[in-house]
């Protein structure tokens, strides 16, 4: 009885303490990222006794509601989407904020109260009237290269990019067609007094880095956003599109990845085309040919319908890929609806390659690479080229598959057959032939027997070649029989 009384008394004292420290209001924390870049984080909280509600607002990624909010020992504890876990401890007029992530080290910082008006959307910059930005004549076949995000995230820096460039050349990947070296998010610093964007401390001289790449026969890619900040919270191009395009041209940039993210705070769904058109027009007038890649895959955006009109050469058709079979499979095998929108200078982008990052088997990576080649997708490697296995290099430099991806006709494959976990995808080629992919989506080996009509052919082919075995086959009169391992693929080229 005495224990129950003390427990009840302790609970009352705890709730009284919680109520005494009312967390209601808008709080601002400062997170420091690599390159000495400071990112604001806002906590908009409403407390009623022991109940806490509200949202977390980051200019980079928009607003996320509090999940599972409760109090532990006087600390406010809650989660948000994307694997972020918060703990707030009152320290006088401020809050000690701890943020744990599933993908990066823990942040600890202090938050102070600020006026609610501090998180208002930025002043609106008038959008251009909708018009057609002329085709820039670039990317007549799907772009090939390397991007920093999948493997390095915000740890990417000047030295790593140079080492990757050297590995791209020494490994033979550059000779196989991989030429664009793209620095994804987190290179951005602040703007100077004239508004010109500067790189942060990780990239001391962007012009020199561009020269380094060009001197090796490579091309220079960079990243920005139509919002005030990028996905990772760094400086975006909002209101500075023409200025940034000229700066990129001065640095020798050849490729721009333009990621939507925080632009959703400023623009409505129906304004996306105009917002992306503004950068497309800026690139067209910057004095340098720059491939324009849109990374905008929010629900309802339908970017493949309007992307070409903004001057874009490629556009994302899916959310971010991750290095596992389930996500790769869901993305890759759901690209069939976008086939009509692919062609020279305009490509559907199912996101970057994960080949070699360790989350799938070599058999699964072969399927990943085969499917992307049949889809006429951009081939943008995302692994650490400095330490890849012979198997990874062999997959990424399969020139017969690359030739399918780079076929000048520019047609994307369509699904011909789906039966009991076996799928057949066919891609017409400029020489009148066809590339045929046989995919086993099951966890068991498949022994398949397919007639030529099931493979999209009216009669046995004149020539038949296995593009992974690199050997010519004799075509049987009645069809093609094969043994396909679990999650495996066979790609044939027929005439």
User: Half-sphere exposure of residue 236, counting CA atoms within 13 Å on the CB side?
Assistant: 28
Other C-beta atoms lying within 10 Å of the C-beta of residue 53:
14
Residue tagged 């679990």 (tokens): 486
* CA gap 59, 232 in Å, rounded: 9
Of the candidates 75, 79, 211, 320, the residue annotated as catalytic is 320
- Selection from 202, 273, 267, 203 nearest residue 238 by Cα: 267
Structure tokens at 303: 């970017």
User: Is 320 labeled as catalytic in the residue annotation?
Assistant: yes
392, 398, 403, 404 alpha-carbon torsion, rounded to 10°: -70
* CA gap 21, 15 in Å, rounded: 10
Of the candidates 107, 157, 259, 384, the residue annotated as catalytic is 259
User: Is 259 labeled as catalytic in the residue annotation?
Assistant: yes
Residues designated catalytic: 259, 320
């Amino acid at each position: 009885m005495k224990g129950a009384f003390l427990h009840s008394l302790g609970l009352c004292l705890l709730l009284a303490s919680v109520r005494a420290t009312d967390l209601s209001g808008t709080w601002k924390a400062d997170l420091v990222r690599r390159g000495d870049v400071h990112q604001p984080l806002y906590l908009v909280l409403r407390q009623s006794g022991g109940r806490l509600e509200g949202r977390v607002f980051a200019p980079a990624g928009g607003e996320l509601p509090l999940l599972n909010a409760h109090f532990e020992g006087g600390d406010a504890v809650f989660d948000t989407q994307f694997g972020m876990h918060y703990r707030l401890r009152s320290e006088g007029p401020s809050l000690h904020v701890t943020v744990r992530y599933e993908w990066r080290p823990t942040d600890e910082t202090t938050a102070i109260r600020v006026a609610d008006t501090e998180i208002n959307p930025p002043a609106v910059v008038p959008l251009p009237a909708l018009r057609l930005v002329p085709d820039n004549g670039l990317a007549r076949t799907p772009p090939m290269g390397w991007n920093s995000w999948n493997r390095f995230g915000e740890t990417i820096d000047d030295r790593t990019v140079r080492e990757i460039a050297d590995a791209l050349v020494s490994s033979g990947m550059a000779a196989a067609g991989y030429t664009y070296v793209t620095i994804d998010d987190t290179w951005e610093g602040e703007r100077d007094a004239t508004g010109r964007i500067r790189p942060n401390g990780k990239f001391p001289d962007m012009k020199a880095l561009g020269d380094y790449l060009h001197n090796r026969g490579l091309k220079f890619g960079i990243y920005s956003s139509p919002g005030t900040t990028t996905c990772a919270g760094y400086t975006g191009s909002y209101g500075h599109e023409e200025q940034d395009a000229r700066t990129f041209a001065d640095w020798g940039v050849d490729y721009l990845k333009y990621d939507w993210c925080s632009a959703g705070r400023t623009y409505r769904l129906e304004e996306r085309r105009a917002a992306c058109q503004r950068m497309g027009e800026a690139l067209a007038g910057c004095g340098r040919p720059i491939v324009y890649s849109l990374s905008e895959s929010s629900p309802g955006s339908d970017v493949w319908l309007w992307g070409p009109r903004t001057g874009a050469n490629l556009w994302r058709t899916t959310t971010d890929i991750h290095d596992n079979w389930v996500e790769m499979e869901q993305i890759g095998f759901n690209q069939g609806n976008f086939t009509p929108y692919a062609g020279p200078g305009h490509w559907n982008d199912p996101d970057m390659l994960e080949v070699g990052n360790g989350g799938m088997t070599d058999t699964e990576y072969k399927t990943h690479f085969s499917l992307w080649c049949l889809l006429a997708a951009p081939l943008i490697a995302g692994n650490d080229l400095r330490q890849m296995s012979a198997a990874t290099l062999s997959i990424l430099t399969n020139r017969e598959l690359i030739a399918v991806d780079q076929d000048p006709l520019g047609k994307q494959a369509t699904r011909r057959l789906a039966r009991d976990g076996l799928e057949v995808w066919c891609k017409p080629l400029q020489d009148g032939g066809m590339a045929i992919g046989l995919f086993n989506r099951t966890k068991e080996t498949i022994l398949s027997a397919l007639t030529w009509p099931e493979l999209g052919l009216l009669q046995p082919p004149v020539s038949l070649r296995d593009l992974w075995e690199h050997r010519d086959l004799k075509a049987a009169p009645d069809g093609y029989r094969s043994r396909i391992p679990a999650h495996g693929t066979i790609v044939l080229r027929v005439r």
